[in-house]
Structures are given as structure tokens and as C-alpha cells.
A and B are shown apart, each in its own frame.
Chain A
Amino acid sequence: MNIATVESWIEAPLKRYVDEVHAHLALLLHPSGQVLAQAGFTREVDVMSACALAAAVYATAGELGRHVEGRAFGGLHYAGPQKQLFLAPVATSRGTFVCLTVFDDASSLGLVRLYFAELCRDLADAAPPLAARTAAPSFMNFEADLNRNLAALFGRDEVM
């Protein structure tokens, strides 16, 4: 399965996890909706949409849990006719992330939960400590690039 990560320490634990649970798709994201890793997606835009929606589901389930139980739900499972999804937080030294797993009859919720616990341990072990802030991207005279690209996007001739 095609796996891509923004941070390299995520790759091995995630690969092991998707292999063990025979996941169709997997996403690791920041709760704000930014993608950190994906497995099984074929188009980047699908990844972005899935991240935004997964972050929304995670956030609303958390709030709902706080309302009815006094604390956020630990995980969320949805069983569709053919596919199921499991959504749960992963705590690491780099912060809490959210993992979305999509699987089918080749797996089971029990199996997913079993290996998800392992994924949480592996990611917690693999996460490097937060490094001191590295240099910011240097945007030298970026206004010209920005104006040209936006003008092109909006089909405008003039650069503002």
C-alpha cells in the first residue's frame, strides 16, 4: 500500500499497522485538520477533504462526549454495509494526533483496536522530542509571486 508521511518517524509504525489490520485507508492528522501521514489514498485532494472531515468528526465526538459523559470519547466506530471506520486519538510527545482507519470484512473492530493500541505505543516510542524551532521559511519579496499566482488563479491579467 502507498504510504506517505510528512514526518519520517511516523512511517514504520503506520506501515506495520495498516499491514496488520488490512486497512483500506489510514490517515494520521493534527486535530486542526492538517495531514501528517496517509496510506491508500490516490489523490491529494481526497486526503485533504478526508482530513477536514475526520478532524470535524473527532472534534464533534469529543464535544459530545464531554456533554454526555464529562470527557471526550476515546474512539469512534462506524459500521457501514461494506466498510467500517475507526477514529481515535494518538498521544505522543509531539502532541495528540488523530488516526482514521477504514477497513472491511477482511478485518474486524477487535483486530483494529488491538493493533491500534500497538500503533499508539509505537508512535509514542518513535516520536522525537520537539526540536528547538528551526529557521522560518524565507519569503523574500514574495508579494510578486503571490500576486502573479493569484492573478493567474482568478483569470486576471493585471498584477495588483
Chain B
Amino acid sequence: MSLVNYATREITCKIVYYGPGRSGKTTNLHYIYGQVPDDRKGKMVSLATQTDRTLFFDFLPLDLGTISGFTTRFQLYTVPGQVYYQTTRKLVLQGADGVVFVADSQAHQLAENIESLQDLHANLAEQGVDARSVPLVLQYNKQDLPRDFILGAADLSDALNFRGVPEFAADALHGPGVFETLRAISELVLKRLSAGTAPAAVSRAPAMAR
């Protein structure tokens, strides 16, 4: 659910990075966090286990600057990928304005990718959300690994991208594809908001003080 304040011309949107365990969702946020100047990001919050696996979520508030006269902020979340964290995935997904699905390009992870994508659609449906209406971008991560171990972007596209959404090959650890993915999901979310089809809390109230 986007929060739109017309009086102060501010918009806040929630983006969720979804995907199977160890696909690189947290790595995406870490890379973004490392690239963005301090004055344009908030503190990154990670609720992780002692072995640094995401337990609940990672959270990164990001100031995108002024877009069409609106101060635009994105709140980036990840979900825990492991199958047994189903409940927490549902909780984090609540109110998402857009979803980035981070697939693991390793060939032996294909079944996990498909299962996780099905899980995403099931969880959206359970919340009464038509998955086809939610802005979605696919990212095929770990494309830097040796060719023998991974599937190419075309193969992953055949297997996962049945909706024909924007898709990007990526190496989230070193950066390629991370920026492009964020740009694509930002564009889809703002387009949907502009079209008036996105759920939003709309306010004409005075400023939310800093």
C-alpha cells in the first residue's frame, strides 16, 4: 500500500525482494546500501540468525529524490527464503507495492526457484491480491558463476517468466544487474500508482515532520 501525501507531495512505496533461500536477496540490499550516499538512505535493519541467514526480513529505507514533483521514498524488504519460514514471508509481503523475484541461476536450484515463485503467487492470492496486477521484476542472480553450473538467462526466462515481465541477469555480489532491477521495479510501481490502479492511502494533511 503506497502512502501518498498530496500536501507535502510525498510518496512512500514498499518493495519486497522475494525468492528461494540463498538466492541473493539480502546481497541485493547490501549492494544497494553500499552504493547509496549516507544522506539518501536510512539504517539497514537485518533480523538474521547467528549464521547471518535472514530470520524475518532485511529492511532498507531509500530516498529516491523528487520524481514528477513528489518526494519519493522506497522501503526495500527481503523475505526469508527457506521453505519453513512461510508464515513470515506472508507477513512481510503484506502491503507490498512491487515484488522483485530473485532467482538462483544455479542449475540444481531450478526446482527451488519454481517452488518459490509458486509460493509467491499463492501468498498473494491468500491476501486477496491478483498476482498478475502486482508489479513484478525477475532477477537471475549468480550469473557470474561458471557456465557449467548455471542456467543462462534465456533458460531461466523460459522456466520462470511466463508473465513476460522485465527480467535481468545479475551478479548481486559485485553489482551488475542490481541497479537495473531496482530501476525496473521502481518504474513499474510508479506507473501503476500513476494509473490509479494501486491501493494507496491518500492524504491531504499537513507535513509529516522529520
Partners in one complex: yes
Residues B156-189 near A (CB distance < 8 A): 179-180, 182-183, 186-187
Q: How many A residues face the partner with a CB closer than 8 A?
A: 49
The verdict on A136 contacting B67 (CB below 8 Å), with A2-B209, A34-B12, A45-B61 known, is no
User: What is the minimal beta-carbon distance from A78 to any residue of chain B, in angstroms?
Assistant: 16
Q: Judging by beta carbons under 8 Å apart, are B36 and A153 in contact?
A: yes
- Dominant secondary structure of chain B at its interface with chain A: mixed
Q: Is the CB of B3 within 8 A of A6?
A: yes
Contact of B43 among A6, A49, A153 (CB under 8 A): A49
Interface size of B by CB at 8 A reads 61
Residue interface mask B63-87, A partner, CB < 8 A = 1: 0111110101001010000000001
Q: Chain A residue with minimal CB distance to B207?
A: A4
Whether A32 contacts B68 in the complex (CB less than 8 A), given A6-B5, A133-B196, comes out as: no
- Of all chain A residues, the one with the shortest Cβ separation from B196 is A136
**C-alpha spacing A2/B209, complex, angstroms:** 8
A85 to B14, CA, bound (A): 26
**Contact of B95 with A32 in the complex, beta carbons under 8 Å:** yes
B190 and A142 contacting across the interface, CB-CB below 8 Å: yes
Contacts of B191 in A (CB 8 A): 139
Closest to B64 in A: A149
Q: Could you mark each residue 11-35 of chain B with 1 if its beta carbon is under 8 Å from any beta carbon of chain A, else 0?
A: 1101000000000000000000001
In contact, B190 and A146 (Cβ under 8 angstroms): yes
